[in-house]
A and B are shown apart, each in its own frame.
Chain A
């Protein structure tokens, strides 16, 4: 099955700096890669996602890049703010038409701390 590795496990930055979180996946058939932000005691909240037919996607301060050949994708947060502090998870999935049924396989998470 799919395996997703995420690094680093913790990341500490100063407000205004950029933060980068990297993930690798094992199944070349995976074609959808979302990123979720999870705050304490809450469920994961989708912040950005990308399909494998696109190499990069940006939404204001957040961007995701995908390298299908190397099977890795990254989350970039620019001009970080204290409210960006949370746990971030990457995930990968295939379509629901196959035996994977569209389930998400998550990385282990990155605790991001933005210091004022």
Chain B
């Protein structure tokens, strides 16, 4: 399978604990996005990487959230001191950067479902 993969698929944690999720994009894709999806809603943008550079962070991404993409390959999203409001599906998407003037196809992974008790 050469699609976007995410691990773990499910995570249950207690409030106050730290969690880390991993995303492996499609191998040749240089752009990587994180989104968050709560029940009954569409995904909401969290952050964007072009290669290893994190170029944008949403206001949804509080100081407890940090994301990295070392060497421009896989990416990790860490949530520190989790709160019940962090419970959601965390989705990763990747795209092959081309002409900057057009929006481009993003391919999504299966997501990591987080439940904070």
Contacts and interface: CB of A to CB of B under 8 A. Distances in A.
B107 A96 contact: no
A109 B40 contact: yes
B48 A101 contact: yes
* Tier of interface size on chain A: 35 or more
A103 B91 CA distance: 13
A96 B42 contact: no
Q: Which of A36, A43, A45 counts the most B-chain CB atoms under 10 A from its CB?
A: A43
Contacts of B104: 32, 93, 95-96, 102
A81 interface: no
A102 B109 contact: no
B101 interface: yes
B85 to A, nearest CB: 19
B98 to A, nearest CB: 9
B56 A32 contact: no
A31 B105 contact: no
Given A94-B103, A95-B99, A45 B108 contact: yes
Interface of A: 4, 6, 30-34, 36, 41-46, 49, 51, 89, 91-99, 101-109
